[in-house]
Amino acid sequence: MPPRVYIPVTVQDESERPRSPRGLGAVVSAGLMSADAGPPEWREKIFGSAWWYRWSSFAYCLAGGLLVIRPAPMYRHARPCCFLFPFRSMGALIFLNGILSYLADTHTFGRPSAWRAADSYVATFNTILQFVLILLQIIGPMSFPRDMVTVFTASLLVAIACKRRAVAAFARRDRDAYLVWHALWHVVLPAGAVAGQLLLEP
């Protein structure tokens, strides 16, 4: 009788396989945000001398509010192909982002909060929309002036660089650097958006 040969077979559980991050996890892995709520002891600085950090979130309210009350120049340069682009709705969402940003980055900093996820998703969606606008300008359907596009695109790229630096400072627990870079993330893009809108004739 021939000897029996046993061949070990290992079946890997599907649940144990590493998966590529999706959704918010993909944004976290790209270095654009942190899943950590932050050290609670930083709240003393945030609610103390860092008044500029507390108020920086509301720069989004300014940029979004301007677009809500003054969307006509944007619609004019979106014709004829993209006249249905929801500029006013986008402005309202940017305004909302300012409020969510304050609730997540200041009001509940260092504490578990649902505002944090809400802010992350809305901010990510709004940022993607800005790239969509630039893409539509590049391929032709929209016809914004070159100076307006240059200012806005530069502010978008600088803002993302500030955000990445803020996440890096947060990871190494450099409080002061984090507050500066994150405040700049809040201010640079809205400032570019406001400047770009004002460059358009009413």
Terminal CA-to-CA distance of the chain, rounded, Å?
A: 95
User: Where do we find the tokens 């400072």?
Assistant: 169
Separation of alpha carbons 119 and 108, rounded Å: 12
Q: Which of 71, 120, 61 shows the shortest CA–CA distance to 94?
A: 61
- Distance separating alpha carbons of residues 123 and 191, to the nearest angstrom: 16
| 15: pLDDT strictly greater than 80 | no
pLDDT at 103: 96
Please tell me what DSSP assigns to residue 104.
I
Question: pTM for the full model?
Answer: 0.78
The residue written with tokens 């909060």 in the block is 113
Whether residue 103 contacts residue 111, with contact meaning beta carbons closer than 8 Å, is answered with: no
Beta strands in the chain (DSSP E): none
Token representation of residue 179: 């507050």
Predicted confidence band of residue 33 (pLDDT cuts 50, 70, 90) = low
2: left (phi over 0), alpha (psi -120 to 50) or beta: beta
pLDDT tens, 64-109?
999 999 999 998 888 767 777 889 999 999 999 999 999 999 999 9
> Given this model, what pLDDT does residue 29 score?
43
Token pair recorded at residue 172: 């190494």
Reply yes or no on whether the pLDDT at 47 is more than 50.
yes
| CA pair distance 140, 162, nearest whole angstrom | 29
